[in-house]
Amino acid sequence: MGMPFSIGRTLFAQMPPSIVINEPLPRWKAMVLSGFRVASLVLVCAALFYAGMLFERYRQRTAASTPVAESASQTGDEQKAAQPERGTQATATPDVMELRKLEGLDIQALQVVRDNTVPGQLRYEFTISNEGRLYEGTLEFLIAGTLEGRPTVWEYPPSGQRAVGSAQMRVGRYIKTEGKIQLPPGLVPEAVALRLREPSGSIRASRGVKVAAPEQN
């Protein structure tokens, strides 16, 4: 029984120790690691601070814009309530001086004068250029003025007569035309707008001008 114990002690004594001793880090490595940790901490703090500032600005901007929008809405409602007739008139009266040109279709020149030979008649002349697709539609005139002392807008030709005759327009690249408009009795014209309307009903080009005085012979 004594022999195995002796052999075990001999083997244990011959085994090398398992303790590993690490060499200390050089001073410069320790300083680099310490600096890296400090820099990382500073960057994290700066990012959190910047995010907090952005959130605070967003909250202040949202809080400031909400009362302004509500105030503007209330002001608009108060104005509409105080002036219902003016709002209705502005909505019902189209802007005859509107300038519009879509897809290359342009009313380059429009001239409207009172005819000094026929009372209540206007003479017009206009040129149209087209750098886009072929235009096939109808033309209409809006005559803004006064009738019996009241502002009014009169359409020519009437909607039921635009499907035939001179109201039909076809413009490839360029066209120049002239004509006459007989006004209803009592209408005093001040401005005239020419509109080119698509078959779908949308207005592709428009231009308005003031009515010129008749030429003196």
* 79 band by pLDDT with thresholds 50, 70 and 90: very low
> What's the CATH superfamily of 100-210?
abc- transporter (atp binding component) like domain (2.70.50.60)
Q: Output the average pLDDT for the chain.
A: 75
What's the pLDDT score for residue 16?
56
Per-residue pLDDT tens digits for 44-68? 777 777 777 777 766 666 655 444 4
Residue 177 confidence (pLDDT) above 80: yes
What's the pLDDT score for residue 87?
33
Lowest mean pLDDT segment, chosen from 85-89, 128-132, 148-152, 167-171: 85-89
Domain boundaries, the chain: 27-92, 100-210
* 185 band by pLDDT with thresholds 50, 70 and 90: very high
Residue 9 confidence (pLDDT) above 70: no
* Sequential DSSP letters for the chain: -HHHHHHHHHHHHHSPP----PPPPPHHHHHHHHHHHHHHHHHHHHHHHHHHHHHHHHHHHHHHHHHHHHHHHHHHHHHHHH-HHHHHHHHHS--TT--EE-TTEEEEEEEEEE-SSSTTEEEEEEEEEESSSPEEEEEEEEEEEEETTEEEEEEES-GGGTTSGGGEEEESSEEEEEEEEEPPTTEEEEEEEEEEE-TTS-EEEEEEEEPBPPPP-
Residue 180 confidence (pLDDT) above 90: yes
Q: Of residues 88 and 199, which shows the higher confidence score?
A: 199
Residue of 99, 128, 124, 139 lying closest to 183 (CA atoms): 124
Average pLDDT over residues 77-91: 37
Q: Of residues 70 and 195, which shows the higher confidence score?
A: 195
Q: Of residues 42 and 112, which shows the higher confidence score?
A: 112
* 124 band by pLDDT with thresholds 50, 70 and 90: very high
Q: What gap in Å lies between CA 95 and CA 160, rounded to an integer?
A: 22
Average pLDDT over residues 142-148: 92
What's the pLDDT score for residue 36?
75
* 27 band by pLDDT with thresholds 50, 70 and 90: confident
Residue 162 confidence (pLDDT) above 70: no
Residue of 125, 127, 130 lying closest to 101 (CA atoms): 130
Average pLDDT over residues 143-164: 84
